[in-house]
Structure 1
Amino acid sequence: MTVAARATPLRAWHLAQGARMVEFADWELPLHYGSQLAEHAAVREAAGLFDVSHMRPLDVSGPQARDFLRYALANDVARLDGQDGKALYTVMVQEDGGILDDLIVTRRTAREYRLVLNAARAESDTVHLRCLARRWAGSQRAAPEIQERPDLGILACQGPMAARQLAAVLDFPELLQRKPFSTLERDQLFLSRTGYTGEDGFEIIAPGDRLLGLADALVAAGVKPAGLAARDSLRLEAGLNLYGQDMTVADSPARSNLDWTVDLRDPEREFLGRSALAAERAQGARQALRGLILKDGIARAGCAVSSREGLPLGQVTSGLFAPSLRRGIALARLTSDTPLGATVFVSLRGREHVALVVQPPFWRRGRPCHDVEERIREHDT
Structure 2
Amino acid sequence: MKPNNIQMTKKTITSSATFIILTLLIILSSCKNEAKEPNKKEIAKTVYASDVIPFFDHWKLILGDGTNAGIANNFENTDFFFTTNDGKSDWVVFKSPNGGDTHGTSNNTRTELAQVKKWYPKTANDKLTATLKVMNVSATGDARVAASYAVVVGQIHSADLHENEPLKIFYKKFPGHSKGSVFWHYEINTEGDDNSGRWDYSTAVWGHDFSVVGTDAKTYPEEPNDGITLGEEFNYEVEVKDGIMTLKFSSEGHETKSFTKNLIESEYTTTADIPDQTQKLFVPIGQDGVERKNAYAGEGCFFKLGAYNQTNGKSPDENMNWCSGAETHGGNLQKQYADGNYAEVWFKTATISVSDAAVSNEGYFTKND
Bin for the TM-score computed over the shorter chain: under 0.3
**Structure (1 or 2) with the larger CA radius of gyration:** 2
TM-score, scaled to structure 1: 0.23
Q: Which has the higher contact order (CA 8 A, sep 6+)?
A: 2
> Which protein is richer in helix relative to its size?
1
TM-score, scaled to structure 2: 0.23
